[in-house]
Amino acid sequence: MLKLWWYFLCVFEFKITKKQKGSNARTGTLKTPHGTIKTPVFMPVGTKATVKTLSPEELHTLDAEIILSNTYHLHLRPGEKTVKQQGGLHKWMNWNKPILTDSGGFQVFSLEQDKGLKQTAEKKAGARITEEGVEFKSHLDGSKHFITPEKAMKIQHDLGADIIMAFDECADGQSKKEYFEKAMIRTHNWLTRCKREHTKLNKKQTKKRALFGIVQGGTYKSLREESARFVASMNLPGNAIGGLAVGEKKETMLKMIEATVPHLPENKPRYLMGVGTPVEVLEAIDRGIDMFDCVLPTRLARHAAFWTSKKLNHIKNQKFKNDSTPLDKNCTCYTCKNYSKSYLHHLMKESEIFGHRLLTIHNIHFLLNLIRETRSHINKGTFPLFKKSFIKKWQKI
**Contact set with its own copies (CB under 8 A):** 48-50, 52-55, 77-78, 82, 85-87, 92-94, 321-322, 324, 338-340, 342-343, 345-347, 349-350, 352-357
Sheet holding 127-129, edge to edge: 123-124, 127-129, 134-137, 144-147
Kindly state the smallest distance separating residue 57's Cβ from its own copies, in Å: 9
Q: How far is the CB of 220 from its own copies (least distance, A)?
A: 38
- The strand pair at 270-272 and 238-241 is best described as parallel
CA 85/CA 26 separation, integer angstroms: 40
Q: Do 193 and 149 form a contact (C-beta atoms < 8 A)?
A: yes
Report the residue number, 94 or 130, with the smaller CB distance to its own copies.
94
Contact present, 340 and 327 (Cβ < 8 Å)? no
Least distance between its own copies and beta carbon 347 (Å): 6
| Residue of 102, 158, 162, 168 with catalytic role | 102
102 is catalytic: yes
Q: Which is nearer to its own copies, 12 or 343 (CB)?
A: 343
Q: CA 21, CA 279: separation in Å to the nearest integer?
A: 20
Q: Reply yes or no on whether 293 is catalytic.
A: yes
Q: 40: cis peptide before it, omega within 30°? A: yes
Measured from the CB atom, the residue of 78 and 384 that comes closer to its own copies is: 78
Distance, CA of 236 to CA of 14 (rounded, Å): 12
Q: Based on CB atoms, which residue is closest to its own copies, 94 or 376?
A: 94
> At closest approach, how far in Å is the CB of 48 from its own copies?
5
Between CA 121 and CA 105 the distance in angstroms is 16
Active-site residue, selected from the candidate residues 290, 293, 323, 328: 293
Q: Which is nearer to its own copies, 161 or 245 (CB)?
A: 161
Q: What's the rounded Cα separation, in Å, for the pair 171 and 174?
A: 8
In the complex, least distance from residue 106 CB atom to its own copies, rounded to whole angstroms: 19
How far is Cα 377 from Cα 268, in angstroms, rounded to an integer? 21
Q: Which is nearer to its own copies, 294 or 301 (CB)?
A: 301
Question: Residue 31: CB partners within 8 Å, gap ≥ 6?
Answer: 10, 11, 12, 13, 14
Q: How near is the Cβ of 42 to its own copies at its closest, in Å?
A: 20
Environment class of residue 318 by beta-carbon count within 10 Å: exposed (0-12), middle (13-18) or buried (19+)?
exposed
The catalytic site residues sit at: 102, 293
